[in-house]
A and B are shown apart, each in its own frame.
Chain A
Amino acid sequence: MKNQINDIKNRALGEIGKVKTFEEVEVLRVKYSGRKSELTNLLRGLKDLSPKERKKMGELSNQTKRVIENELEKKELEIKNEELSYIDEKEKIDVTCPGEKLEKGHLHPLTQIRYDIEEIFKSMGFLVVDDREVEDEFHNFDALNIPKNHPARDMQDTFWLKNGSVPRTHTSSVQVRFMENNKPPFRIIVPGRVYRNENSDATHDYNFHQVEGLMVAKSGEITVANSKSIISEFMKGLFGEGTKVRLRPSYFPFVEPGFEFDASCPYCKGEGCRICKGCGWIELGGAGMVNQNVFTSVGLTEDEFEGFAFGFGIERLAMIKYGIDDIRLFHAGDLRFLEQF
């Protein structure tokens, strides 16, 4: 019997070694390990053996069965792996074909730049402030040291509403409102929409956006040197570490001294190129130390505080940053323009 069992085992292992499909494995399973298998048949003869022999043969046949079943499983896995090894080729697809089209959203370039600017100033402890766009004369002009009929009003050609209100000509009006309600020290920036009564062309529009900043503290605690450093940090944040800033004398009624600030051209790094018209600098905005008359107009004591203010147009920054040549595109709602940002 022992020989018979071993014979079955050898045959089984030999046949298992040759098969190649699941079906063939299944046939062999029936033949060698099923209920009607040779081994099962053979075991029927166990009863004729002595108890000692019987136990011995029983163990041998069980062991043989386990070996065969193990081999069958191994074979099955082998066949499965063999099949899976072809799947890459079999299920190959054209990866260059597009999938279901998704429309990606686009924030307006002015929003993007505005948020960039806000993040830079927030990191320097500035509060972002927002307030009304339609103002009264006091907040837009008088409080900012622009008295009635002053030629300085020439610089800002203004829209007037029939009820006497003014769509603000600058976001400086918000400075006034903020100072009416908050005691120094503080540092704020005010982004927002402004209005100028001028015909539009490639570089002018009647609606545009400004960011204005204001930092006020006790006299002696804040200087032109400080304002230069804030402007410079801002410019570095926007255009990169190596950016330089220069101040030039200028005049705005609400500051004294007044400056314009230029940044070294981000394209040519100050070498001179088409963008900066060869001079290496780009004019970006106005700044200055807050005129004491502005402090007194919001009820602060003259000479008790000093502060600096600065302002610039967001459109202009966006035009420089993205190389846009017509300001009117910002308000045209053309998706072919907007999808580029």
Chain B
Amino acid sequence: MKISYKWLKEYVDINVTPEKLAELLTMHSFEIEEIIYQGKGLENVVVGEVLEKEKHPDADKLSVVKVKINSKEISEIVCGAPNIDVGQKVLVAKLGAEIPCGLKIEKRKVRGVESSGMVCAEDELGLGENHEGIMVLDEKSKIGTLAQDILGLDDVIFEIDILPNRAHDCLSHLGVAREVAVLLESKIKNQKSNMDLRISNSSKELEVKIKNEELCRRYSAVIINSVKIKESPSWLKNRLESCDIRSINNIVDITNFVMLSIGQPIHAFDADKLNGKIIVRNAKKGEKIVSLDENKYELTENDLVIADEKNPIAIAGVMGGLETAVDENTKNIIFEAANFQGTNIRKTSSRLKLSSESSYRFEREIDPEIITSAIEMAVNLTKELSSGDIKDGVIDIYPSPEKRRNIKFNFSRIENLLGIEIEKEKVFSILTSLGFEVSQNDDEIEVLIPTFRRDVEKANDIIEEIGRINGYEMIEEVFANVPMKSVIQDKTLLMEKDIRKTLEGLGFFEVYNYSFLGEKEISGVQLKIEDHLELQNPLSEEFMFMRTSLLPDLLNNTRDNLKHRDSFKLFELGRIYLKDSKDNVDERKILSGIMVNKNQKETLFYNTKEQLKLILEKIGINRLSYGKIENSESFWHKGRSAKILSKKKVIGKIGEIHPIVLNNFDLSSRVVYFEIYIEELVNFYGEIKKYQKINKFPEVELDLSVVFDESVQWGEIKKAINSASNNLIQGVEPFDIYRGENLGENKKSIAFRISYQAEDRTLTDEEVKVVQDKIIDKLEKLGGEVRK
């Protein structure tokens, strides 16, 4: 909220600079987001009178004027404005001025004539857009007066971030002034109350009925007759403008002024436009009202309205009706000051998408007690600015007045919570200055809370007040003296960190993508929309569903980055959000990665596979097998993909992405993708490694080359070889695969190296030959033919 420094000064004496005040408020109350100096740049701009005007000797459109800028000084200035004339009172930027448009005024020659200053136009002073000509002031303006003073721009405005729990009492100058008074150890000035209003729950002129006392706790109204609607005086306009509120007319301005002063929204009706009494009631279903913004709103039974005997005349607490609005012909007005329940106002305002300064405040639950002073202030101002008189008094319906809360707690609790000892006298003076009434019984402190502090409900709320006013900077840092326990960190998180480190070592880039996807991405990878959790209020079509796969965005990343490089590896370790049969959320953690390399076609899959193997080995998963992926996920290239199993559990998948899917993402290079299910890995992780004796006996390596049908997979061959001996075969690695006409169609020749080793002896040639023959036998059973 914007708070005026000058306005604050009407409530409390301020003996510090605006900067110091802003710092105090920031450290003890609310953050000051900005300090706006209204007259900034106008320090050297004064009122001057044009004494003489002559044409510039060398330029048609310029004139040379003599301007008197104080009782002694006359400046000669070259001016281009067509409207300048002798006798005018104008604003002159003196030498040395740095005016808001950025110009620095110096002595300089304009077409050979020396100019000492500048006569200013509106835009040059930051006062508006107008550059038609110079600003001409009222002829009564006094020569030499500072522009800031004549324009009323001598205020400093604070943009204050009022905290939500203090909005009920601090969205006003009085509220902020109360804080200032506490911080400066000063007092709120007594507000003059020079009139005795008769207040009662009935009035001869006006009848008010509250039909829903839960939603309207209090309703006050007063009729003022024979008012004169006119423009507000400049002091009032300036006050409103300093808070960014536009001046309308004296009566409307008074309502806004009261609200900005003490925080109570009030409304003025044209009394002659009402039909009978005022009724505060729930709207009827489908009831309509045109409000001051000239829009028509259809109401529901949940909305509260102010009505006369025929129609609703205001959406309670949100906005008044257009039909009963005050206009230039209004003679008699009714001021309404009421208290509405915040939650209800909030619902109505958000449903109608209609908010106002009034609804903003009511939503935050205002103190019903401040209504009396609001009415009084409005009446006083109306009498002052618009004459008018009151025949009868104020009608005030207030069935259950607000009670003050009483909170007791042990004095030691202050130190127990804040960790600092504060003297009793200090505690008392802080609480008293905040308007709390304090009493003491032995070690117990009892605090009576003023009605305007609706946020203070418990002991800790009061201790917070003591802590912040005393200053958090007074609290020393002290290490907690809490019993220590050993901390065993979460296994999954540790494993994730290991996985990330391995991936980093292998040259992968980690990416973070958003959790939401659009229909286009989902159908792009041929997943089903109905399997996705949908948002009620998405930001846009692109972010309508929660992702069930990291693939779509990784493909987007791949496409975007292929514009800049030919090969890279990406991974993301994050969550996917599945939907179970009961429509509940089933979150899973997943590691997904992509490898792409424009120069690798046949080897890319195998390269990726080896990297993945290494990652899994690093976290303790050594024995992998591969199987066929079920048809349900059609984004895989069926001939080049596999699920990965360990101990018969599917722990992930790897494969090329189908070209149809790649097309959907404008990709033409082959892409190998993998996904690993983190939850499935955790059981393998953290197993303690067992040392095995280093084998000292020599290893024998023998190569074989065998011709097989294409359909025979390496996995089967390897399994057959390994089955030939329990303990002598140390390893089998293929090193060449050959296809050629001499082998025949659908045949391949695989060459591989088998290493033999025993744990307890050097193997003899005979022993190796026995195993080798057994292997050949097994391979022939698979249809293999050993090449000699």
Q: Are A and B physically bound partners?
A: yes
Q: Would you call B493 an interface residue if the criterion is a C-beta within 8 Å of the partner chain's C-beta atoms?
A: yes
CB distance B583 to A163 under 8 Å? yes
The reply to whether A248 and B514 contact each other, CB–CB distance below 8 Å, is: no
Is A128 on the interface with B (CB-CB < 8 A)? yes
Residue B235, interface by CB 8 Å: no
Expressed in whole angstroms, the minimum distance between the Cβ of B481 and any Cβ of chain A is 7
Do the beta carbons of B509 and A339 come within 8 Å of each other? Answer: yes
A227-250 interface (Cβ within 8 A of B):
228-230, 232, 245-250
On chain B, which size bracket covers the interface?
A: 35 or more
B510–A106 touching, CB < 8 Å? yes
Q: A219-B416, A229-B479 given as contacts; is B511 within 8 A of A130 (CB)?
A: no
Task: Take A105-B508, A222-B482 as given contacts and tell me if A125 and B487 are in contact as well, using a CB distance cutoff of 8 Å.
Answer: yes
**Chain A minimum-CB-distance residue to B30:** A249
Give the shortest distance, in Å, between A250 (CB) and chain B (any CB).
Answer: 6
Provided the pairs A161-B546, A289-B417 are in contact, do residues A250 and B533 lie with their beta carbons within 8 angstroms?
no
Interchain pairs with CB closer than 8 A, number: 233
Q: Does B86 contact A (CB under 8 A)?
A: no
B482 touches A108 (CB 8 A): no
Mask: chain B, 506-520; 1 = CB below 8 Å from A; 0 = not:
111111111110000
Kindly supply a per-residue 1/0 record for chain B positions 448-485, scoring 1 wherever the CB is within 8 Å of any chain A CB and 0 otherwise. Answer: 00000000001011011001100011011111111111
A106 and B509 CA atoms in complex are apart in Å by 5
B113 to chain A, nearest CB (A): 42
Q: Specify which chain B residues have a CB less than 8 angstroms from the CB of A258 in the assembled complex.
A: 464
Most chain B beta-carbon contacts within 10 A, residue among A111, A115, A232, A245: A111
CB of B466 to closest CB in A, whole Å: 9
Within 8 A of A (CB), among B492-537: 492-493, 497, 500-501, 503-516, 533-537
B166, B364, B419, B557: the one contacting A223 at CB < 8 Å is B419
1/0 per residue, CB under 8 A from A, across B755-773: the answer is 0000000000000000000
Checking A105, A151, A199, A206 against B509 with a beta-carbon cut-off of 8 angstroms, the contacting residue is A105
B-facing residues in A113-158 (Cβ within 8 Å): 115, 122, 125-130, 132-134, 149, 151-152, 154-155
A187 to chain B, nearest CB (A): 8
Q: A133 touching B515 by the CB < 8 A rule?
A: yes
Asked whether A250 lies within 8 Å of B478 as measured between CB atoms, the reply is no
Q: A151-B167, A228-B477 in contact; A108/B515 too (CB < 8 A)?
A: no
Given B480, B497, B533, which contacts A226 in the complex, CB threshold below 8 Å? B480
| Chain A residues, Cβ within 8 Å of B553 | 333
Confirm or deny: A107 has a beta carbon within 8 angstroms of a beta carbon on chain B.
yes
Q: Is B292 an interface residue (CB 8 A)?
A: no
Q: Does B643 contact A (CB under 8 A)?
A: no
Encoded as 1 (CB less than 8 Å from any A CB) or 0, chain B from 150 to 172 comes to 00000000000001111100000
Which residues of A sit under 8 angstroms from B418, Cβ to Cβ?
A: 223-225
Q: Does A134 lie within 8 Å of B577, measured CB to CB?
A: yes
Residue among B29, B460, B511, B579 making CB contact with A338, cutoff 8 Å: B511
Least CB distance from A120 to B in Å reads: 14
Q: Is B16 close to A, CB under 8 A?
A: no
Q: Does A257 contact B (CB under 8 A)?
A: yes
Binary flags per residue of B334-368, CB closer than 8 Å to A gives 1, else 0: 00000000110011000000000000000110000
Q: For A292, what are the chain B residues with a Cβ–Cβ distance below 8 Å?
A: 458, 460
Contact assessment for A103 and B569 in the assembled complex, using a CB-CB cutoff below 8 Å: yes
Contact present for B514 and A250 (CB under 8 Å): no
Interface residues of A in 194-237 (CB under 8 A from B): 195, 197, 199, 206-207, 215, 217, 219-226, 228-230, 232
Q: How far is the CA of A258 from the CA of B166 in the complex (A)?
A: 13
Interface of B (DSSP majority class): mixed
A226 contacts across to B, CB distance below 8 A: 419, 478-480
Asked if B726 is at the interface (CB within 8 A of a chain A CB), the reply is: no
A221 touches B490 (CB 8 A): no
Given contacts A105-B508, A160-B537, contact A149 B347 (CB under 8 A): yes
B587 at the interface (CB under 8 A from A): yes
A309 to chain B, nearest CB (A): 14
Inter-subunit contact A331/B513 (CB<8 Å):
yes
B400 within 8 A of A: no
Check A232–B477 contact: CB distance below 8 A.
yes
Task: Tell me whether B47 is interfacial, beta carbon within 8 Å.
Answer: no
Query: Does A229 lie within 8 Å of B478, measured CB to CB?
Result: yes
Query: Which of B165, B534, B556 gathers most chain A CB within 10 Å?
Result: B165
**Interface residue ranges of B567-589 to A (CB < 8 Å):** 567-570, 574-575, 577, 579, 583-585, 587
Contact between chains at B535 and A161 (CB < 8 Å): yes
> Do the beta carbons of A256 and B490 come within 8 Å of each other?
no
Extra 17 A-B pairs, beta carbons < 8 Å, given A151-B346, A167-B546? A103-B568, A127-B489, A128-B490, A159-B536, A161-B533, A161-B546, A162-B534, A162-B536, A185-B483, A199-B539, A215-B482, A228-B477, A245-B477, A248-B26, A251-B164, A256-B461, A333-B560
Closest 6 CB pairs of A and B: A225-B419, A223-B419, A257-B464, A333-B557, A105-B504, A229-B477
Subset of 6 A-B contacts with CB under 8 Å: A103-B569, A222-B482, A223-B418, A228-B478, A248-B472, A251-B164
> Which A positions have Cβ atoms within 8 angstroms of B?
102-108, 110-111, 115, 122, 125-130, 132-134, 149, 151-152, 154-155, 159-163, 165, 167, 185-187, 193, 195, 197, 199, 206-207, 215, 217, 219-226, 228-230, 232, 245-251, 256-260, 289, 291-292, 306, 330-331, 333-336, 338-339
